[in-house]
Amino acid sequence: MLYSKLFGKTTKTVSRDATAASHRLLLQAGFIRQLSAGRYTLLPLGLKVAKKIEQIIREEVEKTGAQELIVPTLHPIELWQQANRDQKFGSAMMRVTDRNNAEFTLGATAEVVMLDLVKQFSPSYKDLPINIYQFSQKFRDEARPTGGLLRTREFVMKDAYSFDIDEKEHQKIYQAYWQAYKNIAKRLDLSTVVVESDNGAIGGTISHEFMVETDVGEDLIAKCSCGYAANLERATFVKDKKPQDGQMKPLQEVEAVRGSTMADGVKLHGLPLWQQTKDVVFVDENNRFILTLIRGDFNVNETKLKNLTGANELRHATDEEIINILHSYPGFISPVGIKEGLKEGTSFILVADDSMRQITNMYGGSNRKNIDLLNINIDRDWQPDIEGDIAQVEDGYLCAKCQKNQLHLTKAVEFGNIFNIGFAYSDPMNGNYIAKDGTPTKIYMGSYGIGIGRAMATIVETHHDTKGIIWPKSISPFHFHLIGLDLDDPNVSQAVGDIYQKLSQKFEVLFDDRLSTTPGEKFADADLIGIPIRLVVSRKSLQARGIEYKERSHPEIRILSPTDLFAQSY
């Protein structure tokens, strides 16, 4: 490819929003352009990389026995409704209507469509496992698309689906995908941490995410030196015991002229933060009020709360709602007696973190302004409707697995995920196979995703320097970046033209043949674009009887004769 003819050139100016290195460098080097927020065009250079990533994924995924196919982008909304996924995806789901007013969603993932497809073949136990995958455009109406290709509203994803007779058989494919993902990451030169994760809107039970640690990561993962790793929605920790004798004292009401923060409570009563109740009110998509109770020194993790309560979307209650509907007071909310005072018809539940049971004689509000309660005790003074772990892990908390070491939080990007879905779709959609004894039996499902654009961005995040991208050989858009200097000299242009022709027979070569560009600009562009090997042919190099050879990742420059160049393996 002649650089002079390449569509999409390097540029010095990029938008100020491009704070992530991958965002800035992919724009500057001419791999991508933005169409609108969260929607990017892959220019020829970008598409070449994407295709190479796809091919590596294809090769490794097919080792699990997966077969490639493709389903339509528009999914009939009824299918999503059958599995209640329209609710789970909520506002992230894109909807369109056709001329007959039939409603569709633009595929965000394809579990329902793939299961519907499998059902059409009425599989028997002999037909399972079925293991199918596709590469296709996915749509998610992200509230805040950020970081260029790291979080977009439209992206190509490899999504694979497995259909098995039971969980035991499913585990074999799950493990095969695990291995495939390890292989893919290795070939993309990405180092991954596998974490336990929450299934979120996909549904099912335990899953794993393959995370790549980088400062631009939007996810936090908790890691322990014992090998335990989980994302924040899943991470558990030891809720340390506090020095208390466990003797319950009588509930007491005291005047409390204070502000509304936790610190105000500590200051007024002179008691530890952990002994204070933290009362936070959420409202879910069905207008159900969820009062959460947690130890004062902990915070609520909203995903853990969603899983425990079955809520799909949560927001904080407003001060007006706390006053007019809960008949309480902001900063003075209490579980004690709140249910008795609710506005009639209010949907309400009380959720307690399991840490509440460890602490006796807690203190906190009373649902009235400037009055606090002392010696609040669970069971005696209030009863939760649901109890469980809703606490957010913090850096330095004790690991629940080894109970010895501290957890450390690091930022990471999710590179891929594998989901153990179980019956989350086959239950509501009647996805059955015919068992050996002839009875219709629920299909056990798994799904497995990798976003191509995000993989590309993650590779750039972990493979760049101040001058530009440093592509791993396996996915570089070209093998060689050939630069011709002094091209007005017929000897040089002849020599470099010959080398280009000859190299191109075996390799992909980007030839910078521009006549009116300075050597400095050509070198800077080569560093920015990041092809692993740079070759320079100039009057000077020819006088040295050869070609300047430099690897992008090393400063050393060597002179090779054309014979050496073609004899070397790359």
Q: Is 534 left (phi over 0), alpha (psi -120 to 50) or beta?
A: beta
| Stretch binding Zn ion (CB under 5 A), from 240-248, 356-364, 398-406, 439-447 | 398-406
Among 401, 408, 411, 514, indicate the residue that binds Zn ion (CB under 5 A): 401
Q: Does 228 bind Zn ion (CB under 5 A)?
A: yes
Nearer to Zn ion, 287 or 403 (CB): 403
Q: Does 155 bind Zn ion (CB under 5 A)?
A: no
Report the amino acid identity of residue 241: K
Nearer to Zn ion, 167 or 394 (CB): 394
Among 2, 102, 402, 544, indicate the residue that binds Zn ion (CB under 5 A): 402
Which of 433, 434, 449 minimizes the C-alpha distance to 163?
Answer: 433
Q: How far is the CB of 392 from Zn ion (least distance, A)?
A: 18
Q: How far is the CB of 403 from Zn ion (least distance, A)?
A: 7
Nearer to Zn ion, 236 or 361 (CB): 236
Nearer to Zn ion, 222 or 338 (CB): 222
Q: How far is the CB of 215 from Zn ion (least distance, A)?
A: 24
Q: Does 406 bind Zn ion (CB under 5 A)?
A: no
Q: Does 70 bind Zn ion (CB under 5 A)?
A: no
Q: Which residues pair with 4 in a beta bridge?
A: none
Kindly report the CA angle at 247 between 245 and 253, in degrees rounded to 5?
A: 120
Q: Does 339 bind Zn ion (CB under 5 A)?
A: no
Q: Does 396 bind Zn ion (CB under 5 A)?
A: no
d(CA 444, CA 143): 32
Q: How far is the CB of 405 from Zn ion (least distance, A)?
A: 5
Torsional sign, CA 317, 323, 328, 333 = positive
Q: Does 326 bind Zn ion (CB under 5 A)?
A: no
Nearer to Zn ion, 141 or 389 (CB): 389
Residue 443: CB atoms within 10 A of its CB come to 29
Q: Where are the beta strands (DSSP E) in 369-443?
A: 371-376, 386-388, 408-422, 432-434, 440-442
Q: What is the 3-state secondary structure (H, E, C) of 38-80?
A: CEEEECHHHHHHHHHHHHHHHHHHHCCCCEECCCCCEEEHHHH
Among 57, 77, 112, 399, indicate the residue that binds Zn ion (CB under 5 A): 399
Q: What DSSP element (H or E) covers 439?
A: none
Q: Which are the contacts of 15, defined by CB distance < 8 A and separation ≥ 6?
A: 27, 34
Angle between helix 21-28 and 452-462 (nearest 10)? 100
Q: Does 376 bind Zn ion (CB under 5 A)?
A: no
Q: Does 96 bind Zn ion (CB under 5 A)?
A: no
In 71-188, alpha helices (H): 77-82, 85-89, 111-119, 167-187
Nearer to Zn ion, 405 or 493 (CB): 405
The first and second tokens of residue 42, run together, are: 């892959």
**Tokens 């322990």, located at residue:** 224
Q: If binding means CB under 5 A, how many residues of this protein chain bind Zn ion?
A: 7
Nearer to Zn ion, 156 or 221 (CB): 221
Q: How far is the CB of 398 from Zn ion (least distance, A)?
A: 8
The first and second tokens of residue 461, run together, are: 């995040």
Whole-Å CA distances, 288 to 92, 274, 314, 326, 336: 21, 28, 10, 12, 19
Among 112, 224, 376, 470, indicate the residue that binds Zn ion (CB under 5 A): 224
Among 35, 70, 206, 226, indicate the residue that binds Zn ion (CB under 5 A): 226
Q: How far is the CB of 181 from Zn ion (least distance, A)?
A: 23
Residue 31, CA atoms < 13 Å, CB-side half-sphere: 30
Q: How far is the CB of 234 from Zn ion (least distance, A)?
A: 14
d(CA 360, CA 274): 11
Q: Does 220 bind Zn ion (CB under 5 A)?
A: no
Q: How far is the CB of 228 from Zn ion (least distance, A)?
A: 5
Nearer to Zn ion, 226 or 544 (CB): 226
| Stretch binding Zn ion (CB under 5 A), from 15-23, 133-141, 172-180, 395-403 | 395-403
Q: Does 408 bind Zn ion (CB under 5 A)?
A: no
Residue 178: CB atoms within 10 A of its CB come to 16
Nearer to Zn ion, 195 or 445 (CB): 195
Q: Does 94 bind Zn ion (CB under 5 A)?
A: no
Q: How far is the CB of 235 from Zn ion (least distance, A)?
A: 11
| Stretch binding Zn ion (CB under 5 A), from 129-137, 215-223, 258-266, 402-410 | 402-410
- Do residues 508 and 479 make contact, with C-beta atoms less than 8 angstroms apart? yes
Residues that bind Zn ion (CB under 5 A): 224, 226, 228, 399, 401-402, 405
